[in-house]
Chains A and B, each alone.
Chain A
Amino acid sequence: MKISPRPAPHIHYHEHTRVIMGDVALSMLVIYGMCFYYYGVRVAVLMLTGIVSACLADVLCLAARGKKPVTHDISAVITGMMIPLMLPASIPLYVTAVAAVFGIFAAKHPFGGTGHNIFNPAAAGIAFVTVCFPSLVFSYPIPLELLPISPGADVVTAVSPAFTMMLGGIPGYDWQEMAFGNFPGPMGATNILVILTCLLYLVLRRAVRWQMPVVFIAVFCALCWIFPRGGMARFDTVLYEGMSGAVLFGSVFMLGDPVTSPARGWSKALYSAAAAAMVLTFRRWGRLEEEFAFVLLLMNAAVWGFDIIGEKIAGWIRRKLIETGTNKKIPKKTQL
């Protein structure tokens, strides 16, 4: 009999890391479906470019570090899928590839690869191309006009609501049209209703913990309601701030990334609230129309602080419960 010792427990929950990551990839595929409807086949090419360049960069980095690629680790695929969704559909393919490669090279592997990265690789890639190619990143094509695979200079671009609001204007889009995603903007981030459905799926599948996106959206809407933009009604501010730009997409897919977020529910909620305040601050006084990636990188650097706060709160509650004996799972010493 050939038996081997292994640490307890000897049974495992069926959910594997790949299942959690696969849930995120699946919900992003749904958003790609919407993008395909609005912009045509080019979307698929963008997705493949992102995935292939991210995976190649990942394999290269692993080889440089002297490790073998793990087939069960599909985090590079997710990074590659996420980057085109934050960019306009008319973006040249090389920009997507640059963003994916930069994200993997600079934000993931220098810190130790999957699970050890401090900064979100997709956010780092987006921030890099935003700084390098601002004119390309902020020129959005009009939805429902199908794009060729390699669009020339004749692509009709339109002003996004985020840009209008940055200049102090009021976007002229109907909010119902915006909910279905029929307005210029980052190609994945405009499909508001689809993203909300994905949020529900991810929370129910527990790929994302509910504290993060729910608290983020609630605090963001509340702050917009309390501090409306000059010349806009409160309700309009909430709607346009929430639906324009990459706020909703980022809060579901990038903020909810478990690797670069705090561990405890408490710290997750505090972190999301702080991120919401930061995003609104940047949108009001920032120089760019879309700064979610920069805010996320800043917040990622502060995760350890939120972790310490959350652990202190949890430890205080734990000791109080033991002192008062109200926690049924931690009985006082009454047994013989």
Chain B
Amino acid sequence: MSIFSKGTVLAQHKEPALSNPLLRFVNPQTQSLLIDRAVSGDISSLSADDLIDIARAAGIVDERDGVFLHRKLSRAKGKAVAVIADAIDDEPYVSSKIGPLLKLREEALGGIGLCCKIAGTDAVYIVAYKHITDLSMRIPRSIEGFKISRLRGGYPARPQASILGKQKGRKLIVGAGALIHLYRAAATGKRQSTVFITVAGNCVANPMNMEVSIGMTVQQILERCGLVDEPSRVVCGGSMTGVAIMDTERTLVTYTTKAVLAIKDAKTDRGLSCIGCSRCERVCPRGLSPMYINKFVRSGFYKYLMDYDAHLCLGCGTCSYICPSRLDISGSAIAAKQYALTHELARREDEESED
């Protein structure tokens, strides 16, 4: 965070999870599920339509945004100008995309090749986050001839993925995990039954990246990695946007879970009020006024929110992160966004019906 610029660069805390070996912790019953399709040994003979069928049959979900991969692929078929492999782990503690990409290179590169075949393009960008400084390993400049682009900038770096490259037009952005699952489905005919997650936090004995079966409980995962301390909160999802869960026994790993964090920290809410330091406004990647949005939501003046463009909020949580009074600004902003979207939608529908 410099004096003149917007946005903020977070300390990443990706070690030692990223350097530790990738652990497979899978349920053998779901692991052996196959798709209803004869698998030919030769991947290069598969056509684009075949590959989309395989993705559909294997039920692959892109962990990046929770969209079925076959939908993305069929929209991009023959039209995308570039394939972007998303390994941008910009949230602290989380390395569940760059880790598998580096450790399962062959499968990830195979998946990229299949995506290129579907999109009908040779332009490939493998994207990783630039500002990871505390690593004990090096992220290579290229893997097997494919250059790894490093995305600069402050914390919410993922929205910038689509502006990479010189090509103008639609780009196919696929997460690293989905690429690996696509390759496995095409090569061995296996359904997607696992997902890559990071287990970290200051209470975890062995922080690591894991490949776990979908449907495992958070308790099982934490027991596998071991706890050195009693956590005060367990988070499903990234450290900036994840959800703090109440019951580890009944919370399951889903397609879009990227991390399980067990954190012990001191009480942060001391009942302070906003002192108007305007740091939230300075770090907001969309240039909103989170301070005023928070004030209006807390005091119930929802009608003024439209002037403050609350519907543009990304929900990235940077405002709450920086707040020196530890206010839940992000929660207010997300509530304001939902209000603004529903309100705006209703207004537009009214206008359309009048026309």
Q: Which residues of A contact B (CB under 8 A)?
A: 1-13, 15-17, 19-20, 70, 72-73, 75, 113-116, 203-204, 206, 209-210, 258-261, 263-265, 307, 311, 314-315, 317-319, 328-331, 334-336
B281-A263 in contact (CB<8A): yes
Residues of B within 8 A of A12 (CB): 268, 320-321, 323, 326
B159-A329 in contact (CB<8A): yes
Q: How far is the CA of A11 from the CA of B75 in the complex (A)?
A: 37
Known: A1-B230, A116-B273. A334 touches B171 (CB 8 A): yes
B162-A3 in contact (CB<8A): no
B270-A72 in contact (CB<8A): yes
CB distance from B61 to the nearest CB of A (A): 15
Residues of B within 8 A of A263 (CB): 276, 278, 281, 289, 291-292
CB distance from A333 to the nearest CB of B (A): 9
B278-A264 in contact (CB<8A): yes
- Contact digits for B271-282, partner A, Cβ 8 Å, 1 yes 0 no: 111111111011
B244-A20 in contact (CB<8A): no
A-B residue pairs in contact (CB < 8 Å), sample of 10: A5-B246, A7-B244, A9-B317, A70-B271, A115-B272, A115-B276, A206-B279, A263-B281, A331-B159, A334-B162
Question: Which single member of B231, B268, B276 contacts A258 (CB below 8 Å)?
Answer: B276
Q: Quick one: closest A residue to B81, CB to CB? A: A334
CB distance from A39 to the nearest CB of B (A): 32
6 nearest CB pairs, A to B: A115-B273, A335-B162, A9-B317, A9-B240, A17-B324, A258-B276
Residues of A within 8 A of B242 (CB): 8, 10
Residues of B within 8 A of A209 (CB): 278
Known: A8-B242, A8-B243, A336-B172. A318 touches B286 (CB 8 A): yes
Known: A264-B278, A328-B163, A336-B76. A3 touches B231 (CB 8 A): yes
Q: How far is the CA of A291 from the CA of B285 in the complex (A)?
A: 40
CB distance from B238 to the nearest CB of A (A): 8
A335-B173 in contact (CB<8A): yes
A258-B245 in contact (CB<8A): no
A336-B261 in contact (CB<8A): no
Q: How far is the CA of A114 from the CA of B324 in the complex (A)?
A: 14
A13-B244 in contact (CB<8A): no
Q: How far is the CA of A204 from the CA of B162 in the complex (A)?
A: 35
Known: A70-B272, A311-B292, A329-B286. A336 touches B232 (CB 8 A): no
CB distance from B112 to the nearest CB of A (A): 16
A5-B271 in contact (CB<8A): no
Known: A328-B163, A331-B160. A8 touches B324 (CB 8 A): no
Q: How far is the CA of A15 from the CA of B275 in the complex (A)?
A: 13
Q: Quick one: closest A residue to B269, CB to CB? A: A6
Q: Which residues of B contact A (CB under 8 A)?
A: 1, 3, 7-8, 10, 72, 75-76, 80, 92-93, 153, 156, 159-163, 169-173, 230-235, 237, 239-246, 248, 261, 263, 268, 270-279, 281-282, 285-287, 289, 291-292, 307-309, 312, 317, 320-326, 328, 330-331
Q: How far is the CA of A3 from the CA of B270 in the complex (A)?
A: 19
Question: Which single member of A5, A13, A16, A318 contacts B321 (CB below 8 Å)?
Answer: A13
Known: A4-B232, A8-B241. A311 touches B289 (CB 8 A): yes
Question: Which single member of A10, A16, A72 contacts B263 (CB below 8 Å)?
Answer: A10
User: Which of A75, A318, A335 has the most B CB atoms < 10 Å from its CB?
Assistant: A335
Residues of A within 8 A of B291 (CB): 263
Question: Which single member of A72, A260, A315, A328 contacts B160 (CB below 8 Å)?
Answer: A328
CB distance from A206 to the nearest CB of B (A): 7
Residues of B within 8 A of A210 (CB): 3
User: Which of B76, B172, B287 has the most A CB atoms < 10 Å from its CB?
Assistant: B287
B270-A7 in contact (CB<8A): no
Q: How far is the CA of A2 from the CA of B247 in the complex (A)?
A: 10
A336-B321 in contact (CB<8A): no
Residues of B within 8 A of A204 (CB): 3
CB distance from B188 to the nearest CB of A (A): 27
Question: Which single member of A2, A8, A70, A311 contacts B230 (CB below 8 Å)?
Answer: A2
Question: Which single member of A3, A17, A330 contacts B234 (CB below 8 Å)?
Answer: A3
CB distance from B140 to the nearest CB of A (A): 26
Residues of A within 8 A of B275 (CB): 17, 20, 75, 114-115, 258-259
Q: How far is the CA of A315 from the CA of B288 in the complex (A)?
A: 8
Q: A6-B244, A73-B272, A331-B162 are in contact. List 17 more A-B contacts (CB 8 A).
A: A1-B248, A4-B244, A5-B245, A8-B244, A8-B317, A8-B331, A10-B242, A11-B239, A11-B321, A13-B324, A17-B272, A20-B277, A70-B271, A258-B276, A318-B309, A330-B312, A334-B163
CB distance from B270 to the nearest CB of A (A): 5
Q: How far is the CA of A206 from the CA of B277 in the complex (A)?
A: 9
B287-A314 in contact (CB<8A): yes
Known: A1-B231, A315-B307, A336-B80. A70 touches B270 (CB 8 A): yes
A329-B169 in contact (CB<8A): no
CB distance from A119 to the nearest CB of B (A): 13
CB distance from B124 to the nearest CB of A (A): 15
Q: Quick one: closest B residue to A330, CB to CB? A: B286
User: Which of A1, A5, A12 has the most B CB atoms < 10 Å from its CB?
Assistant: A1
Q: Quick one: closest A residue to B324, CB to CB? A: A17
Q: How far is the CA of A206 from the CA of B324 in the complex (A)?
A: 12
Q: Quick one: closest B residue to A327, CB to CB? A: B287
B307-A10 in contact (CB<8A): no
A336-B281 in contact (CB<8A): no
Residues of A within 8 A of B3 (CB): 203-204, 206, 210
B330-A8 in contact (CB<8A): yes
Residues of B within 8 A of A265 (CB): 282
A334-B244 in contact (CB<8A): no
User: Which of A10, A114, A204, A328 has the most B CB atoms < 10 Å from its CB?
Assistant: A10
B325-A9 in contact (CB<8A): no
Residues of B within 8 A of A73 (CB): 272
CB distance from B65 to the nearest CB of A (A): 9
Residues of A within 8 A of B173 (CB): 335-336
Residues of A within 8 A of B231 (CB): 1, 3
Q: How far is the CA of A306 from the CA of B273 in the complex (A)?
A: 22
CB distance from B287 to the nearest CB of A (A): 5
B322-A10 in contact (CB<8A): no
Known: A10-B235, A72-B270, A329-B160. A5 touches B169 (CB 8 A): no
Q: Quick one: closest A residue to B172, CB to CB? A: A336
